[in-house]
Amino acid sequence: MDASTNSPGAKTAHLFRLLFWVHWRSLLARLRLLRRQSRLMIFVLGAFVVGYLIVGYWLFYSGLDYLQNFPIIGSLISQRVLFLIFGFFFAMLIFSNAIIGYSSLFKSRETSWLLTLPISHRSVYRWKFVESLIVSSWALVFLSAPMMAAYGRVHNVPPLFYAKVFAAYVPFIVLPALAGSWGIVLLVRVFSQRWAKRVLLGIALGTLLSLVFYVKPITDIQAAHSEDVLSFDALLRHTRVSLNPLLPSSWLAQSVLSWSEGLPQKGAFFFFVLLSNALMGLLIGFEVVGRFFYGSWSAALSSRAERMQLQADAKRRKVQRRPFIEWLADFLPFSRPVRALAIKDTRLFWRDPAQWTQFMIFFGLLCIYVLNLRNVAFDFRNEFWETMISYLNLAASSLTLSTLTTRFVFPQFSLEGRRLWIIGLAPIGLGKVLLQKFWLSCAASMCVTVTLMTASSLMLHLPPLRVLFFACSIAVMSATLCGLAVALGALFPNFKEDNPSKIVSGFGGTLCLVVSFIYIAGFVALLAVPGLRRVTHLRFLVGDGVSLCLAVALSAVILIAPMFLAMRRVKVLEF
């Protein structure tokens, strides 16, 4: 037998081929099952994909064509927008790879099984890295496809341009995947300590409080001064970070710009900068960081075992203090079984880093968005722009809310898993379990969205009545979207999966996101009728009072109808 076939590299390559074959066969089997069982899901997904590609291409082309033809500074602004988009993709890919990498490396039962095989730990790390890279990065190609198609049409590029951009995407997505994977291997070592989570939470709360107390809306004097010194460079001063020559997103943007402007050598230079850094990163990641993976995995398991041992010792000594969450639950106006279920869901959420880290990222992005509104407040001085921006603010906040409810609320019923029969046999009944999940998610989402909506409205200098109007609007949307997510989660459960991300990726999660988007579009459009009638000459078929009543009626239908169907479903649910 050739000695090369027994080398570590040959064994790793054979493992990769085998696992790729298994995943490919599994994917084909799921597609065949889906084709036989759920033609509706195929239709919805196909319509959503085609609709996004068409609408996305039209929007990107309209925006890029307008910027390109804008007098004097149009081309400069379009270039800066390209840098910003790729910078945003790079940052989001780091977070996405870190979150998916944590679930894949440290929470997956497949990883535990692979570590028992006679293969090196570094080979397991390499496979899980490739798996996380594919899962987290495929959406970049899909989301940016209409943008690059529109960009190419605006600049009249040759067909070879698209092949070059696709080739540049490959090393570009590898770099944030490496950063996210390295970060999660290191952070797991840190978070295995009992004090780490409390310190991180304290830092987050301290940062939030400092932003609340020290960041104020721009005053009229500051606005006047800003208008006096306004220039192109000052207007885009907040985007300079995307031009940093050390950022991989800047290298990709430089390659795309050079190829579109007919500078192939300059574009090739930045492409090879991306490629060389990606190859060096893979070498370091596979040979160096892979050696630390098993230690981090052992530390994560040891921390869980230590926590369980401390809890058992405390119970044995009978000196366990009552947790704060139980003390807080006593103030809820619900029965003891409902409070116990709320405590259980909260603890499960807090004990899963893949859940609360994603929530903190969403919450952090919302805070950044609200704080940046202070830089927008002085840019509009008439009633038309004040009305438009206020309703766009409501739409942006509600779209983020729909993402939160789909990601965190929809999987809650399915996460009960095969243990659901225990709750089903309890006197409380599954109907009250469904209502408990609705009220808990509704209260949590309202605390976040109403606070941020109020803060953003104050940043925009809206009058008190308008602030109250938008706060009540986002509260109604929070209740409706939470009810929709809870109901569809019960109508389309997946009790065989314990990964929330995979539960959301099914038909029910996709349907929840699509219906949420449609509801938000209709609700915001109806709410905007009175304001647009006041500041424009547009004619509407319905009056102001009728449009508001229709918005409330739409919310009631979206909330009550799915919840009614879900309550009927759980009464006859077999588990």
> Per-residue pLDDT tens for 40-91?
667 766 777 787 788 888 888 888 887 777 776 767 777 888 888 888 888 8
What is the tens place of the pLDDT at every residue in 247-279? 888 889 889 888 888 888 888 898 999 999 989
Q: What is the pLDDT of residue 1?
A: 44
The reported pLDDT for the residue numbered 317 is 58
- Quote the pLDDT of residue 150: 86
pLDDT at residue 318, rounded to an integer: 54
- Residue 416 and residue 396: Cα distance in Å, rounded? 32
Q: What is the pLDDT of residue 326?
A: 63
Cβ neighbours of residue 338 closer than 8 Å, sequence gap 6 or more: 332, 428, 432, 436
Q: In terms of Cα–Cα distance, which of 397, 392, 404 is closest to 355?
A: 404
Q: What tens-digit pLDDT sequence spans the chain (575 residues)? A: 444 555 656 666 777 788 888 878 877 877 777 666 566 667 766 777 787 788 888 888 888 887 777 776 767 777 888 888 888 888 888 877 887 777 777 777 777 788 887 777 778 888 888 888 887 777 777 778 888 888 888 888 888 888 888 888 888 988 888 888 888 887 777 766 666 666 766 776 676 666 556 555 455 444 444 444 445 555 566 667 777 888 888 889 889 888 888 888 888 898 999 999 989 888 888 777 777 777 777 777 766 655 655 555 555 555 555 565 666 666 666 667 767 777 777 777 776 666 666 676 666 666 666 666 655 544 555 677 777 888 888 888 888 888 888 878 888 877 776 667 677 666 667 777 788 788 888 888 888 888 888 888 887 778 888 888 888 988 898 889 988 888 888 888 777 766 676 677 666 777 788 788 888 888 888 888 888 777 777 777 777 788 888 888 999 998 888 888 888 887 766 65
Span 374-408, pLDDT tens digits: 555 445 556 777 778 888 888 888 888 888 888 78
What H or E segment, with its residue span, contains residue 288? none
**Among 112, 114, 171, 103, CA closest to 137:** 171
> What integer pLDDT is reported at residue 50 of this predicted model?
81
Which own/partner contact pairs does 64-67 have at CB distance under 8 Å and 24+ positions apart? Answer: 64/150, 64/151, 64/154, 65/154
**For residues 303 and 398, what is the distance between their CA atoms, to the nearest angstrom?**
38
Could you tell me the sign of the dihedral formed by the alpha carbons of 426, 429, 432, 437, in that order?
positive
- What's the token pair of residue 152? 């190419």
Residues 6+ apart with CB under 8 A from 118: none
Cβ neighbours for 361, distance < 8 A, ≥ 6 positions apart: 95, 99
pTM of the predicted model as reported, rounded to 2 decimal places: 0.68
